[in-house]
Amino acid sequence: KNEVEQSPQNLTAQEGEFITINCSYSVGISALHWLQQHPGGGIVSLFMLSSGKKKHGRLIATINIQEKHSSLHITASHPRDSAVYICAVAPREKLTFGTGTRLTIIP
């Protein structure tokens, strides 16, 4: 069983839609990261969470430590949000990554 599970694996939505990507993990963690991987392969850190909720622009990330679950939300989605979104958890220094959610926003 994977330590980090993401859903859905692929998501296609119309521009403007509210997007939710889910991440469940099975190990104890000190932090959870949401990352964005662009089509060219580069990775950008979006959030690091250890509890509660964080917001940055149109992106919102939440985590429920008891349920070992996190969600990434995108409000008013835009075609430039099209990317792979990766959840990664940090039991210690090494990160364990999910397989990613490929998001495509259609104009």
Q: If binding is defined by CB under 8 A, does position 25 make contact with other proteins?
A: no
Site size toward other proteins, by CB under 8 A: 23
CA torsion sign for 80, 83, 89, 90 is negative
Q: If binding is defined by CB under 8 A, does position 57 make contact with other proteins?
A: no
Q: If binding is defined by CB under 8 A, does position 48 make contact with other proteins?
A: yes
Rg (CA), the chain: 13
Q: Contact, 101 vs 71, CB < 8 A? A: no
**Residue range at the interface with other proteins (CB under 8 A); choices 18-26, 56-64, 72-80, 97-105:** 97-105
Query: At its nearest, how many Å lie between other proteins and the CB of residue 2?
Result: 9
Query: At its nearest, how many Å lie between other proteins and the CB of residue 38?
Result: 9
Buried b (16+ CB within 10 A) or exposed e, 11-26: bebeeeeebebebbbe
Q: If binding is defined by CB under 8 A, does position 99 make contact with other proteins?
A: yes
